Amino acid sequence: MSTAGIVVIGNEVLSGKVEEENARFLIRELRALGVELMRVAIIRDELGEIAREIKAMSEAYDYVFSTGGVGPTHDDVTMEGVALGLGVPLVRSAELEATIHAHFGARVTASVLHMADVPEGTALLGQGTMLHPITRVRNVYVLPGVPEFLRAKFNFIKAGLQDRPIVLRQVWVRVGEDAVGDHLREVLAAVPGLEIGSYPRFDTPEFKVKITIEAKDAALVDRGVAELLQRVPPGDVVRVE
Amino acid sequence: MSTAGIVVIGNEVLSGKVEEENARFLIRELRALGVELMRVAIIRDELGEIAREIKAMSEAYDYVFSTGGVGPTHDDVTMEGVALGLGVPLVRSAELEATIHAHFGARVTASVLHMADVPEGTALLGQGTMLHPITRVRNVYVLPGVPEFLRAKFNFIKAGLQDRPIVLRQVWVRVGEDAVGDHLREVLAAVPGLEIGSYPRFDTPEFKVKITIEAKDAALVDRGVAELLQRVPPGDVVRVE
């Protein structure tokens, strides 16, 4: 099972000026792909912080997706941060430079050309299908912060990330977490390898807790549901899906 | 100016089973209060990860808000994680224990009583106004993951966090980031202490970039706007607010 981390880079998200929607998109996509997301960090446009987070996630997980901080403005320091985090120099990509010249023509400025500076060893993907190709350094995909560009790039990448999806079953009960907490602990002990969640709701009369039972192995999940239903009195069960 | 960090604890958020809304709420609230948010981490219900994140944020920022992992179920390990991170033992609070007994009566179980175990030195706030009081350990507010409870608790806390709000002005231009990037760098050099952002949009004909200029000091922000308008040709400016 592949694992992943997400680094959202941008003071504008932390300050609430721009609502976060890239991590939200990626969370849904990774779930659908069966990739296990281990951590999301929303951090400032600061070299040291970017470098630390990228290094830690790149070493710990199979894939890292960064978003934001790759444009031409003064606060776009993601590429420098990724280079620092992975311990490689920032180098000018001749291919990206040519793409930028072709697009901007006489309007090229130093700021814009800075977008051709990438960590050494960067692979470019998707050339010809999009204006600015996807940049990948080792297992780190360095993606833009503009949501429509991020989505287009991720849709291109995701064919390569397919994994076995997670099987999810759900049990709704009309009793509170206090009544089922011990049962869940027992099911977990009886069927190792499951992931079990319980989510109380107080704004509906229909049920009090939704219990989720998950694993990549459907047989394991079925055993977990059976173990649970042996423990919860039938009258307390609202629905099983 | 006060600083803050947010730790969202919960596999259910990372796996996309439950949509993140607590950090989103806190981001807006902290902005309105003028507290500077430095970092958001969404992490798994794992002791070591919780401890590491709480320790780092508690040392670096004025306030830390954790959300999630404080219920009675097997994956609720936030209190243990906070205790580990701050280097104090987990102790049973007599006051919380009494509250739980009063609420649950004969339905009390070991799982539920575990909710009375808190890091040594925990202050309880808001007793009498809510069923389960707010728990604060040093500068760490340990808040629940259920959104309606989190909001109620934060609304109680926030009177104590008031700070000078951030002044924001905005300039919309009909040219791209490539045309304004150098100007922004110059304004930042001319008026240190500003925070400047630029946010391109491609889905409206009205403007190409929204520029934001911010600081706690309104005079500084006005100088920043003036410096910017000296540099951008008037015909390129759509609107100033």
Reported confidence tier of residue B201, pLDDT bands at 50, 70, 90: confident
pLDDT tens-digit readout, B149-191:
999 999 999 987 766 667 889 999 999 888 898 899 999 999 8
Q: Where do the domains of chain B lie? A: 3-161, 167-240
Flag if B71 and A166 touch (Cβ within 8 Å).
no
Mean pLDDT, all residues of chain A: 91
User: Mean pLDDT, to the nearest integer, of A110-119?
Assistant: 91
- For A74, the closest of B27, B148, B185 (CB atoms) is B185
User: Which pLDDT belongs to residue B193?
Assistant: 83
User: Which pLDDT belongs to residue A7?
Assistant: 98
Question: Would B3-161 and B167-240 be classified into the same CATH topology?
Answer: no
Lowest-confidence region among A1-5, B86-90, B214-218 = B214-218
* Fold (topology level) of B167-240: Alpha-Beta Plaits (3.30.70)
- The DSSP secondary structure of B40-107, one letter per residue, reads EEEE-S-HHHHHHHHHHHHHHSSEEEEES--SSSTT--HHHHHHHHHT--EEE-HHHHHHHHHHHGGG
- For A28, the closest of B16, B39, B202 (CB atoms) is B16
With beta carbons under 8 A apart, name residues in chain A contacting B43.
39
Nearest C-alpha of chain A: how many angstroms from B29? 9
pLDDT tens-digit readout, A6-58:
999 999 999 998 899 999 999 999 998 889 999 999 999 999 999 999 999 99
Flag if B181 and A11 touch (Cβ within 8 Å).
no
The answer to whether B113 touches B100, Cβ cutoff 8 Å, is: yes
Q: Give the span between the Cα atoms of B202 and A124, in whole angstroms.
A: 24
With beta carbons under 8 A apart, name residues in chain B contacting A30.
16
User: Mean pLDDT, to the nearest integer, of A88-106?
Assistant: 92
pLDDT tens-digit readout, B208-225:
999 999 887 888 899 999
Flag if A202 and B111 touch (Cβ within 8 Å).
no
Q: Comparing C-alpha atoms, which of B134, B7, B142 is closest to residue B80?
A: B142
Reported confidence tier of residue A205, pLDDT bands at 50, 70, 90: confident
* Fold (topology level) of B3-161: Molybdenum Cofactor Biosythetic Enzyme; Chain A (3.40.980)
User: Mean pLDDT, to the nearest integer, of B145-151?
Assistant: 93
- Percent above pLDDT 70 for chain A: 98
User: Which pLDDT belongs to residue A216?
Assistant: 77
Flag if B14 and A109 touch (Cβ within 8 Å).
no
Residues paired with residue B67 on neighbouring β-strands, in sequence order: B8, B143
With beta carbons under 8 A apart, name residues in chain A contacting B184.
73-74
With beta carbons under 8 A apart, name residues in chain A contacting B109.
178-179, 181-182
- For A72, the closest of B40, B74, B177 (CB atoms) is B177
Residue B238 pLDDT more than 80? yes
User: Mean pLDDT, to the nearest integer, of A61-71?
Assistant: 94
With beta carbons under 8 A apart, name residues in chain A contacting B102.
none
Residue B58 pLDDT more than 80? yes
User: Which pLDDT belongs to residue A164?
Assistant: 61
Nearest C-alpha of chain B: how many angstroms from A200? 8
What ipTM was assigned to the predicted interfaces of this complex? Answer: 0.73
- The DSSP secondary structure of B140-201, one letter per residue, reads EEEE-SSHHHHHHHHHHHGGGG--PPPEEEEEEESS-HHHHHHHHHHHHHHSTT-EEEEEE-
Nearest C-alpha of chain A: how many angstroms from B123? 24
- For B27, the closest of A14, A185, A200 (CB atoms) is A14
Q: Comparing C-alpha atoms, which of B163, B169, B162, B175 is closest to residue B208?
A: B175
Close Cβ partners of A196 (under 8 Å, ≥ 6 residues apart):
A184, A187, A188, A211, A212, A213, A214, A224, B74, B75
Residue bearing the bigger pLDDT, B205 or A77:
A77
pLDDT tens-digit readout, A168-194:
899 999 998 888 988 999 999 998 888
pLDDT tens-digit readout, A45-59:
999 999 999 999 999
